């Protein structure tokens, strides 16, 4: 089965010019088929603040009211996505920017209120269209996917970028041997958040439950690992969490 690499880059890397430049260079150098999935939360927070809109987070996930939905749609689907596409074109990668609404590639539903938390216009993915992605990729196109989906009723929904990456990987698993790489500003999952060298080399689901219980893993790392294990359970061959400048898959935390 042909190999494909899906790289998810977080908002902190997108905001750091040196890290982003290196990541795009490394991504362009990946042989074979590939997909880039990006966040942009820090840029959205910055733009929202400039517009006088407060950013609210719960367990590493953004509360998205109507005003914030406009901000993330503009920032994720426009500012961040199209800048990445333009820079990849300059690097010789024939990139195409997509939200979930484009060609109905990822459809979701509005997250219901749970435990008293209303996340607003946040989407929980129902399905990702692997067949149409497969068609694009086989035509020599590299999708660059923003963390926005739609509900099929005309509404855009904010959707966690780690989830977008995981769902994309799962949708492509029937067509390719998939490696999913989550890259961010740390070398991997850390046993001590104050020690950048305390990388946990491997994590099993049992390890994950223990790390959540004792607080080793918290905040935004929880949904990242949730998506990683879900991908492994659904046919993705390899999931790696690593530094943005180490997307060769030789370093970081391997999910088992």
Best CA proximity match to 164, nearest among 63, 36, 74, 5: 36
The DSSP secondary-structure symbol of 159 reads: -
Please give the structure tokens belonging to residue 212.
């959540």
> What distance in Å separates the CA atoms of residue 41 and residue 63, rounded to the nearest whole number?
12
Binding-site positions = 40-41, 62, 158
User: Contact at 8 Å (CB) between 123 and 109?
Assistant: yes
Binding-site positions for substrate = 40-41, 62, 158
219-237 as b/e, with b when 16 or more CB fall inside 10 Å?
Answer: ebbbbbbbbbbbbbeeebe
Tally the residues of the chain.
256
């Amino acid at each position: 089965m042909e190999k494909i690499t899906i790289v998810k880059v977080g908002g902190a890397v997108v905001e750091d010019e040196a890290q982003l430049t290196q990541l795009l260079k490394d991504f362009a150098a990946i042989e074979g088929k590939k997909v880039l999935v990006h966040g942009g939360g820090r840029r959205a927070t910055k733009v929202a603040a400039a517009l006088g809109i407060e950013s609210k987070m719960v367990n590493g996930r953004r509360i998205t009211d109507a005003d914030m939905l406009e901000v993330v749609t503009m920032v994720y689907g426009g500012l961040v996505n199209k800048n990445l596409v333009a820079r990849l074109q300059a690097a010789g990668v024939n990139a195409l920017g997509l939200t979930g609404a484009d060609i109905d590639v990822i459809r979701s539903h509005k997250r219901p209120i749970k435990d008293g938390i209303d996340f607003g216009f946040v989407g929980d993915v129902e399905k990702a269209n692997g067949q149409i992605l497969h068609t694009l990729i086989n035509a020599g196109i590299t999708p660059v996917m923003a963390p926005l989906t739609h509900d099929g009723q005309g509404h855009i929904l904010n959707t966690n970028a780690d989830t977008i990456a995981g769902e994309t990987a799962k949708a492509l698993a029937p067509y390719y041997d998939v490696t999913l790489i989550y890259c961010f500003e740390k070398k991997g999952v850390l046993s001590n958040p104050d020690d950048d060298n305390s990388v946990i080399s491997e994590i099993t689901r049992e390890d994950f439950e223990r790390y959540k219980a004792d607080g080793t893993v918290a905040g935004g790392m929880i949904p990242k690992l949730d998506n990683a294990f879900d991908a492994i359970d659904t046919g993705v061959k390899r999931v790696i969490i690593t530094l943005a400048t180490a997307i060769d898959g030789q370093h970081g935390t391997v999910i088992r």
